[in-house]
Amino acid sequence: MKDLYSIGETAKLMGISVQTLRHYSKLQLINPRYINPETGYRYYSVDQFHFIDRLKYLQNFGLSLSEIDTILTDGSVDTLLPFLEKQKQLYIQEVKKAQETVEDIQWYIDYFKYIGQDSFPDVPYKLMLDKRYMVAVPCLPEESSAAYHIRLNEIKSSKNFKALKYKRQFSYIADFSQLIGKKLKPTHLGMFLKEAPKVQSDYIIEIPAGEYLCFRGRILTDQWNPALVSSFFQNGPKPTLVLANEYEDNLMEYSQCMYEVQILLPS
């Protein structure tokens, strides 16, 4: 085994580029053991390989070269450990964020598949649903659909609501009598939250857990029939909560899309 290795040999042995070694030297992180005064050729010794490897893995942990310089200049493990702890916490947060993104993607996959599963429009069925929360704005009587969609976006983008995590699905709170008459007269337009919010606001509505009578229909069109649901409530009290949740079946046109209507049953 020879004492000195050229910069090219060192780069190859250490799995890095010659340019990287030159950059390390420029920053005074590690200098060649010997520079030929006549040719300017750079040489590294075997005992420097361990130091170069340490530079590599600290960079792989995400530490900056200036942080690595601080660590290696001091040469103390006590200096190194807080930097490693900080990087660990950063990666834990990245993993958490990545997992949340995976969950969001799965929610969208389930969302687009949901209506296609055993779909029988206008036929009622029951679901037990947990407590939910939505950010919602009132729909004024003479207001256009565009107007309350704009107001919902304004609320979602405001300071107290921007950090909340949403499920991208528009939901109406509807008037039961109007809906049974094949007219969608919403009292609110909202969007569900992924989790219980930590802020309080008149724009946050708690949707109670319970048993819901549901049916599916293209309620923005005439292509649906509420007769079966209407007969269910013919001899009893009228529902106090009706939700109409949008399910897109294409990415271009929304007026023909399917809705799942959820009607809270008395407990």
Q: What is the pLDDT of residue 231?
A: 93
pLDDT at 107 over 80: yes
Cα 255 to Cα 225: distance, rounded to the nearest angstrom = 17
CATH number (domain holding residue 41)? 1.10.1660.10
Note whether 141 and 197 are same-domain residues. yes
Q: What is the pLDDT of residue 250?
A: 83
Note whether 133 and 106 are same-domain residues. no
pLDDT at 117 over 90: no
Note whether 203 and 141 are same-domain residues. yes
Determine the residue type at 265: L
Q: What is the pLDDT of residue 142?
A: 87
Q: Per-residue pLDDT tens for 223-263?
A: 899 999 999 998 888 999 999 999 998 888 888 899 999 99
Q: What is the pLDDT of residue 147?
A: 96
> Rounded to 10 degrees, what is the CA torsion of 119, 125, 131, 133?
50
pLDDT at 116 over 80: no
Domains: count for the chain: 3
pTM for this structure? Answer: 0.78
Note whether 182 and 247 are same-domain residues. yes
pLDDT at 120 over 70: yes
Cα 177 to Cα 263: distance, rounded to the nearest angstrom = 12
Q: What is the pLDDT of residue 151?
A: 96
Q: How confident is the model at residue 118 (pLDDT cuts 50, 70, 90)?
A: low
Determine the residue type at 202: D
Note whether 130 and 236 are same-domain residues. yes
Q: How confident is the model at residue 121 (pLDDT cuts 50, 70, 90)?
A: confident
Q: Per-residue pLDDT tens for 44-68?
A: 999 999 999 999 999 999 999 999 9
pLDDT (mean) for 209-232: 93
Q: What is the pLDDT of residue 88?
A: 97
Note whether 212 and 124 are same-domain residues. yes
In DSSP terms, which residues pair with 189 in a beta bridge? Answer: 137, 172
Cβ neighbours of 209 (radius 10 Å): 13
pLDDT at 90 over 90: yes
Nearest C-alpha neighbor of 59 from the set 5, 6, 15, 92? 15
Determine the residue type at 231: S
- Tokens coding 20: 């990287």
Note whether 106 and 154 are same-domain residues. no
Note whether 38 and 87 are same-domain residues. no
Q: What is the pLDDT of residue 252?
A: 86
Note whether 23 and 104 are same-domain residues. no
Q: Per-residue pLDDT tens for 7-29?
A: 999 999 999 999 999 999 999 99
Note whether 54 and 87 are same-domain residues. no
Note whether 131 and 247 are same-domain residues. yes
Note whether 44 and 141 are same-domain residues. no
- The parent domain of residue 190 ranges over 120-264
Q: For the chain, how many residues are written?
A: 267
